[in-house]
Amino acid sequence: QVQLVESGGGSVQAGGSLRLSCEVSGLTYRCMGWFRQAPGKEREGVAVISARGDSTYSIDSVKGRFTISRDNAKNTLYLQMNDLKPEDAAVYYCAARVSSNCPTVEPLSRTGFLYWGQGTQVTVSS
């Protein structure tokens, strides 16, 4: 049984930081990604990381502020978010793809991401 469980969301002021975690069980060595969905908006890909963790891609709006990483020994995915802005506020989801390779074109496609967590809320106040 595949399970993805996010944690680490919360409320911060603009400029603050949060670290999201996603514990994965039931599958290994897949491309993993973080997506987010703000109220009234489409779910968008934020960052992805290859199965080995040696390749990452982030969307332009978070480059230099967000870092995706993974610890395969712990089956855990991370998203370090620094210098948060009000427009980063959303429900953040981790997802696992069916393959080990990741999309590398913006917008990051949800195609192939079959396994999803329940989401964790990130609120950023100005």
Summarised one tens digit per residue, pLDDT across range 90-109 is: 999 999 999 988 998 899 99
The whole-number pLDDT of residue 35 equals: 98
Summarised one tens digit per residue, pLDDT across range 54-92 is: 999 999 999 999 999 999 999 999 999 999 999 999 999
Check whether 42 has a pLDDT greater than 90: yes
The whole-number pLDDT of residue 33 equals: 98
Check whether 29 has a pLDDT greater than 90: no
Per-residue buried b or exposed e for 33-72, using 16+ beta carbons within 10 Å of the residue's own CB: bbbbeeeeeebbbbbbbbbeeeebbbbeebeeebbbebee
